[in-house]
């Protein structure tokens, strides 16, 4: 994420993410699954504006920027705009733990679609913790904020990593890794999304889980073709059993010359790894013509 000040506001640009690898292990006693995933943040951002308030009130507003998603009616399906939003939950959690007797004014500019596997809500929560710590002069470390964020959602801690990372446990154990800067992707979001809980409910963990290590090694070598060969997501069959769009996206992407492709998170977004920006733009144009959904180009970021 990127933070700066603008007048009396602290402004944070909160990125989406792609899961280049996603393995599901056994179910834990707490109801979660152990996972192993390699994630990279991408240059698709929500923007959060946070301002201190002396009256101890927390106010939250959201501005929806349709952009490429215009005409896709479900791009923010299930998005809560009240106290259940992760932005509000995050600021209230930090306020309780830090015993802060002040409020905050929060304005979210929303660009990342929901029910897409892009982690937009989790990224917004991480951005809120960072911004609120700054406006209230708490001085909390990134590690402390990431630990707090894990209470809000399994994906929240990964957004405190400085670029690509391998996440384990239920997602809260984050290890930053080296990799090629600015990978180019084409990203497709179909007209409908999927519930993460439903996808996990339909997933059957394997007896012999696949290891992320071959992808990590290709990543650290900067081997684009090797990265493309190692893309993997255990949740794809479960998502396919719930939505016909998954098979349509796989088939459409297989007809392109991407180095590799797959689903991110619990879907429904599908991505392809491209050689460079021009290649990604060309693939996006082809995919738009097929009618599988909104196709845009994105780049990995730190």
Q: pLDDT tens digits, residue range 8-43?
A: 899 999 999 999 999 999 888 887 889 999 999 999
Find the DSSP H helices in the chain: 86-98, 120-135, 142-149, 196-202, 213-221, 224-230, 236-242, 244-254, 277-290
The 3-state DSSP class for residue 78 equals: coil
Query: Can you tell me the distance from the alpha carbon of 152 to that of 138, in angstroms, rounded to the nearest whole number?
Result: 19
Strand partners, 39: 19, 165
Is there a catalytic annotation at residue 257? no
User: How many Å apart are CA 21 and CA 247, to the nearest integer?
Assistant: 18
Q: Which two tokens stand for residue 80?
A: 């809560």
pLDDT tens digits along 75-126: 787 788 889 999 999 999 999 999 999 999 999 999 999 989 999 999 999 9
Q: Measured on CA atoms in the order 116, 88, 122, 51, is the torsion positive or negative?
A: positive
Domains of the chain: 2-176 (3.30.230.10), 184-299 (3.30.70.890)
155 catalytic? Reply is yes
Core vs surface per residue 116-136: b (16+ CB within 10 A) or e: bbbbbbbbbbbbbbbbbbbbb
- Select which of 17, 46, 110, 124 is catalytic: 17
What's the distance, CA 75 to chain centroid?
15
Mean pLDDT of the 146-152 span: 97
| pLDDT, tens digit, 9 for 90 and up, residues 259-295 | 999 999 999 999 999 999 999 999 999 999 999 989 9
CB 233 within 8 A of CB 264: yes
Cα–Cα distances in angstroms (integers) from residue 194 to residues 18, 74, 100, 159, 161, in the given order: 16, 11, 37, 22, 26
Residue (of 188, 190, 184) closest to 280 by Cα position:
184
What is 150-184 written as a DSSP string?
A: TTT-TTGGGGGSSS-EEEETTTTEEEE----TT-E
Rounding to the nearest 10 degrees, give the CA dihedral for residues 50, 54, 59, 60: 0
Q: Is 222 left (phi over 0), alpha (psi -120 to 50) or beta?
A: left
Please give the torsion angle defined by the CA atoms of residues 8, 13, 14 and 20, in that order, rounded to the nearest 10 degrees.
-160
| C-alpha to C-alpha distances, 249 to 19, 200, 232, 301, nearest whole angstrom | 16, 20, 15, 24
pLDDT value at position 72?
61
The one catalytic residue in 46, 110, 124, 155 is 155
């Amino acid at each position: 994420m990127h933070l700066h000040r603008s007048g009396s506001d602290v402004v944070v640009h909160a990125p989406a993410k792609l899961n280049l690898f996603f393995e599901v292990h056994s179910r834990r006693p707490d109801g979660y699954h152990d996972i192993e995933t390699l994630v990279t943040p991408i240059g698709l951002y929500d923007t959060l504006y946070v301002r201190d308030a002396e009256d101890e009130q927390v106010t939250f507003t959201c501005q929806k920027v349709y952009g490429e998603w215009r005409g896709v009616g479900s791009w923010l399906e299930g998005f809560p705009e009240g106290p259940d939003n992760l932005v509000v939950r995050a600021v209230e959690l930090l306020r309780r733990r830090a015993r802060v007797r002040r409020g905050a004014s929060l304005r979210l500019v929303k660009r990342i679609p929901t029910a897409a596997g892009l982690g937009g809500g989790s990224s917004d929560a991480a951005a809120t913790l960072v911004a609120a710590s700054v406006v209230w002069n708490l001085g909390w470390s990134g590690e402390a904020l990431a630990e707090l964020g894990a209470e809000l959602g399994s994906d929240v801690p990964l957004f405190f990593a400085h670029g690509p990372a391998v996440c384990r446990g239920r997602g809260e154990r984050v290890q930053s890794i080296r990799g090629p800067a600015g990978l180019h992707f084409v990203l497709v979001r179909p007209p409908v999304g999927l519930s993460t809980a439903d996808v996990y409910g339909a997933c059957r963990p394997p007896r012999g889980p696949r290891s992320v290590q071959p992808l990590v090694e290709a990543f650290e070598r900067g081997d684009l073709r090797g990265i493309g060969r190692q893309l993997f997501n255990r949740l794809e069959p479960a998502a396919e059993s719930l939505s016909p769009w998954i098979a349509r996206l796989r088939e459409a992407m297989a007809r392109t010359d991407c180095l590799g492709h797959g689903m991110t998170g619990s879907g429904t977004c599908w991505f392809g790894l491209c050689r460079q920006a021009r290649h990604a733009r060309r693939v996006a144009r082809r995919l738009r013509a097929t009618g599988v959904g909104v196709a845009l180009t994105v780049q990995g970021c730190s």
